[in-house]
Structure 1
Amino acid sequence: MPARFCSWKMIPTRILEYEKPNLNGNSKGAGCRFELWDCSGDQKFETCWPALMKDSHGVIIIFNPELPSHLKEIEMWYSCFVQQQPLLDSQCLLVAHHKPGSAGDTENLSLGKKMENLISNSRVFY
């Protein structure tokens, strides 16, 4: 994930900003504005998380199911970024991503008891 460094300190990076005043093409349509932020996936930047979570309406958690450590880490991310805000499970998108060329097995992916509810109430993409 991209991150900027300044004097050896990580700065959370806004990787996308989108704004459209009206979605229907007329002046009466509802507007849309969103930002995506990369918080690096490293707990040493935990002090930045409250600023990233402020006023958020959803969370995207991306992980590599081939790495056993990621299966534990997604529980921590879910707890911090979804449950403690609080957001609904339906406001969380869980993405299992394999590096190109890997032969990952998503058919038998086991995320553990804590994440079972998220799977049934969220969207999961492989």
Structure 2
Amino acid sequence: SGKSVLANFVSESTEGICSYSPTQGVRILEYEKPNLNANKGAGCRFELWDCSGDQKFETCWPALMKDSHGVIIIFNPELPSHLKEIEMWYSCFVQQQPLLDSQCLLVAHHKPGSAGDTESLSL
């Protein structure tokens, strides 16, 4: 669904930008945003945990959820299986944690080049 692509974009990382390799467990991206407006102009350091969507890593989820401050759930709206999966992710990562809905962002993302692309865009 493009989770790593969006994680790279948010963190301004170029890691693995040209090749696809499914995330194994979790990939932690650390980055800093200087002069953040929401923080009175002070900088802020972030850890973005890019978690695999593969349920074979479900035993790792409690460790991934510990002390989280927010959750971004990314899904492909063209895949019917993702609609059921987002309910499971929301239940595990938001409802079972002390997180408010305001700390959760749901992103529908169509990964360019995936099935369903009918036109080619040139830049």
TM-score tier, shorter chain, comes to 0.5 to 0.7
Residues 25-82 of structure 1, C-alpha deviations (whole Å, 9 max, x = no match): 99x9655222111221112111111111111100010100100000000000000000
Q: CA RMSD in A?
A: 7.0
Residues 66-103 of structure 1, C-alpha deviations (whole Å, 9 max, x = no match): 00000000000000000000211110111101121569
Alpha-carbon distance in structure 1 between the residues aligned to 2:19 and 2:115: 38
The alignment covers a number of residue pairs equal to: 103
TM-score using structure 2 length:
0.62
Residues 94-122 of structure 1, C-alpha deviations (whole Å, 9 max, x = no match): 11011215697999999xxxxxxxxxxxx
TM-score using structure 1 length:
0.60
Q: Which runs of 5+ in 1 are unaligned?
A: 111-126
Amino-acid identity (%):
95
Q: Which moved more, 1:13-22 or 1:53-62?
A: 13-22
Change in Cα spacing, 1:79 to 1:107, as seen in structure 2 (3 Å) is farther
Q: Which runs of 5+ in 2 are unaligned?
A: 1-6, 10-17, 21-25
Answer whether contact 2:29 2:50 (CA < 8 A) is retained: no
Structure ranking higher on relative contact order (CA contacts 8 Å, 6+ apart): 2
Please tell me whether Structure 1 or Structure 2 has the larger radius of gyration of its CA atoms.
1
Change in Cα spacing, 1:63 to 1:107, as seen in structure 2 (3 Å) is farther
Q: Which moved more, 1:31-40 or 1:48-57?
A: 31-40
Answer whether contact 1:63 1:96 (CA < 8 A) is retained: yes
Change in Cα spacing, 1:52 to 1:106, as seen in structure 2 (3 Å) is farther
Change in Cα spacing, 1:78 to 1:25, as seen in structure 2 (3 Å) is closer
Change in Cα spacing, 1:4 to 1:34, as seen in structure 2 (3 Å) is closer
Q: Which residue of 2 aligns with 1:4?
A: 8
